[in-house]
Structure 1
Amino acid sequence: MATTKKDLPDMMVSPETGEMLHRGVRPFVVTYKGKSLTVELPGYYPENGDDGVHVGDDMSVTDAALRTLKEEIEGVPSPATIRRVREKLKLSQREAGGLLRVGENAFDKYERGLVEPSGPTSQLLRLLDHHPELIEELRGNAA
């Protein structure tokens, strides 16, 4: 179960320094292959300085930024893009996994960001996004 902000206390003691840390956000730069995105990283921070303690889902914003950069630079579709294309094609996760022959549970894992699709699967998703009518050809081959 995901930890929400309301579940977290406003302050905590730093396990390293003993200093009081306050819940907040700080800008954090995520860099991949020379390209960068700045995100607002939640965590517990000292009054002065950026060294913080991150708990629960705090780091999910950096994971999302990295996926965005990988999509932009290498064409690896992000979980949001995968879901958008699947829904555009009016497929359930199981149907998509079967038609693309990646396994019935693959799209669940792709869309939760647990696994990245392979290069060929990424390319096929890009083609289906631009040419959704091709899904009928895949359906014909599956029958």
Structure 2
Amino acid sequence: MNKRMTALVGILLVTASLAACGQKQTAPTPQPTTPASTAPPAASPTASPGAAAGGNAPEGAGSGSQTAQAESLFKAQCIACHGADLGGGVGPNLQKAGSRLSEADVKNIVLNGRGGMPAFKGNLSDTDIQALAAWLAAKK
């Protein structure tokens, strides 16, 4: 009887965790904090794209604002299942997602879901999904 109770509690915990990942949430659209006329100059052509945001984004990872947008989206939409450090949990580890998935693959998974992951098509804008896909694909 005790083993049955333990198994039931385990099943309920897994079910609750998966249900939390499937909840529809919308992330607020990040708003610029600096008017365009007083924005700082763009990073020099020799600087990496992530340098302007203080990050160390690899070539092709997108602009600093796209990186910040993706990080914000990840915190709002993905952290519950993939962990604050992208190390996984309920969902898989994404720390090196770009070494096994292309940007198009990531975008397709975010749009349509896969396995226990819900689809975010209709919950996130195309711009948000693209920013998230580029950011995760750059994780190598």
Q: Which TM bucket (shorter chain)?
A: under 0.3
Length-normalised TM-score, structure 1: 0.26
Q: Please tell me whether Structure 1 or Structure 2 has the larger radius of gyration of its CA atoms.
A: 1
More strand by share: 1
Length-normalised TM-score, structure 2: 0.26
More helix by share: 2
